[in-house]
Amino acid sequence: MNPQLAESPFLLACRRQPVPHTPVWFMRQAGRSLPEYRKVREGTEMLAACATPDLVVEITMQPVRRYGVDAAIFFSDIVVPLKAIGIDIDIKPGVGPVVADPIRDAAAVGRLRPLSPDDVPYITEAVTELVRELGATPLIGFAGGPFTLASYLIEGGPSKNHDHTKAMMYGAPELWHALMDRLTTITLAWLKVQADAGASALQLFDSWVGAVAPRDYREFVLPYTSKIFAGLEELGVPRIHFGVGTGELLPVMGEAGADVVGVDWRVPLDEAATRVGAGKALQGNLDPAILLAPWEVVEKQARGVIEAGRVAEGHVFNLGHGVLPSTDPGQVARLTEFVHEFSAR
């Protein structure tokens, strides 16, 4: 391991140690907001790009080169491990993941087989090459959270109310638990592939879990997120846990076992620190839409995030969700610089 990597501001903040400046990276920092991304993606479908190591390396590096962010996020998608075990799933531009045969019975759950590292040699190859190129900059590996993956599989695509998902959760709890159990096994294997190849941190994106009430989270989701974070402990890399609309879930997410809890823009970080509880770093949480406003607005709001983040035991600056495709990269560059400069004062 590169000796400077362990001392990188991002890893120090995840470990709740003193930092020279607040580290910053952005969810979806690679992607459609960047002209260089749109250029290299021309003519290649999303999931084909995810299975092409040269493209994965190039796209992951683009925001690191352009912005000088404190961490890279591996370019892939939460559905890649599902595709790799033979699920007929695709990503439709402007829509998201679409599943040909939604999973709604025991036979379909039974077809979700475990993931072996041999299913994803292109992931090992891309991570290995990235770690070499990144040097002292950490690479964050990731997976979808079990609720979010279950929702795509059960609904067959993106969903506003997660109707079928909740119908299974409440109406067929044994089937739900069997599905979550299989997703947990797949997710652990998928995250281990990335860590074994050199990823420095792992983020679980349970983006849509904010749709669940705390009591139901405890019964239907927490057993699985806890198992995932416990299973990752031996890898020794910081574990980040993120979801959208999770204000009411922050206390129970704080129990799941991550080192860092990601917070969306709805809850100020000082309040989030209280809700999550002691012994955690926080990540977040500027509203991504603020980047569409004039710079003066961005600066004022970013200052507020940094100041609220000082209350946390560790703070990694990020947005409350992904960079919107219409964002001007110039704003992101300026924000990165501002976070570094203002937090070091």
Provide the binding-site residues for ligand CP3, judged by CB under 6 A. 27-32, 41, 46, 73, 75, 77-78, 91, 93-97, 142, 148, 205, 207, 322
Q: Is 28 annotated as a binding residue?
A: yes
Q: Is 207 annotated as a binding residue?
A: yes
From the CB of 33, what's the least distance to ligand CP3, in Å?
A: 9
Residue 87, both tokens? 């699920």
Residue 16 vs 288, nearer CB to ligand CP3: 288
Q: Where are the alpha helices (DSSP H) in the chain?
A: 3-6, 9-14, 35-41, 46-50, 53-67, 80-84, 106-110, 121-134, 146-155, 163-171, 173-196, 214-220, 222-232, 250-253, 269-276, 295-309, 329-344
Task: Tell me whether residue 30 is annotated as binding.
Answer: yes
Residue 266 is assigned to a ligand binding site: no
Concerning whether 287 is annotated as a catalytic residue, the answer is no
CB-closest chain residue to ligand CP3: 207
SS3 readout for 157-179: CCCCCCHHHHHHHHHCHHHHHHH
The one-letter code for the residue type at 342 is F
Residue 113 designated active-site: no
16/165 with CB nearer ligand CP3: 165
Spatial distance between the Cα atoms of 183 and 166, rounded to a whole number of angstroms: 17
Q: Which two tokens stand for residue 259?
A: 């080192």
Q: Residues 17, 11: contact at Cβ < 8 Å?
A: no
Looking at 37, 67, 152, 217, which residue is catalytic? Answer: 152
Q: How far is CA 55 from the centre of its chain?
A: 20
- The least CB distance from residue 69 to ligand CP3, in Å, is 10
Q: Is 321 annotated as a binding residue?
A: yes
**Least distance in angstroms from the C-beta of 345 to ligand CP3:** 29
Q: Which is nearer to ligand CP3, 5 or 73 (CB)?
A: 73
| 70, 77, 206, 259: the active-site residue | 77
Instruction: Quote the DSSP letter at residue 207.
Output: T
Catalytic residue flag (residue 32): yes
Comparison of 32 and 334: residue with beta carbon closer to ligand CP3:
32
Catalytic residue among 41, 104, 182, 275: 41
What six digits make up the tokens of 165? Answer: 């998902």
User: Which residues make up each annotated binding site?
Assistant: 28-32, 77, 152, 207, 321
Where is the binding site for substrate, in residues? Answer: 28-32, 77, 152, 207, 321
Residues with active-site annotation: 28, 32, 41, 77, 152
